[in-house]
Amino acid sequence: MPTFLMMTRLNSEGTSSGKGVVELERSAMSRVRSECPGVEWLASYATFGPYDYVDVFRADGIDTAAKVAAIIRAFGRAHTEIWPAVDWQHYKGLMRELPAAA
């Protein structure tokens, strides 16, 4: 299954309290599990840059990943981005298959 990174930035309503963020996450993840049962969650990180969270998950394709992002966006009143991720070793193999530069 493809791996995706989801970058999330909550708006000020979504970050007004620590307890609120925890409850928001619980509700959103319950909905993701219900609506997208095949998604495999690999990791979640709080970050201190332009995004509040980075989540790493596997999904059967871009449509399912987009559905996950839409759920998070709706629950968290958030901005989300989905980035496909390719394992580094696999990527190096793909690069070896490219024709040599002229």
Tell me the fold of 3-97: Alpha-Beta Plaits (3.30.70)
Report the chain's mean pLDDT, rounded to a whole number.
89
pLDDT of residue 69: 96
Determine the residue type at 9.
R
Indicate the domain borders of the chain.
3-97
pLDDT of residue 27: 87
pLDDT tens digits, 77-98: 789 999 999 999 999 999 999 9
Angle value at C-alpha 5, between 92 and 8, nearest 5 degrees: 150
Runs of H (alpha helix) within the chain: 18-35, 62-76, 88-97
pTM equals 0.85
pLDDT tens digits, 10-36: 876 655 566 777 888 888 899 999 999
Selection from 85, 75, 86 nearest residue 33 by Cα? 75
Is the Cβ–Cβ distance between 24 and 77 less than 8 Å?
no
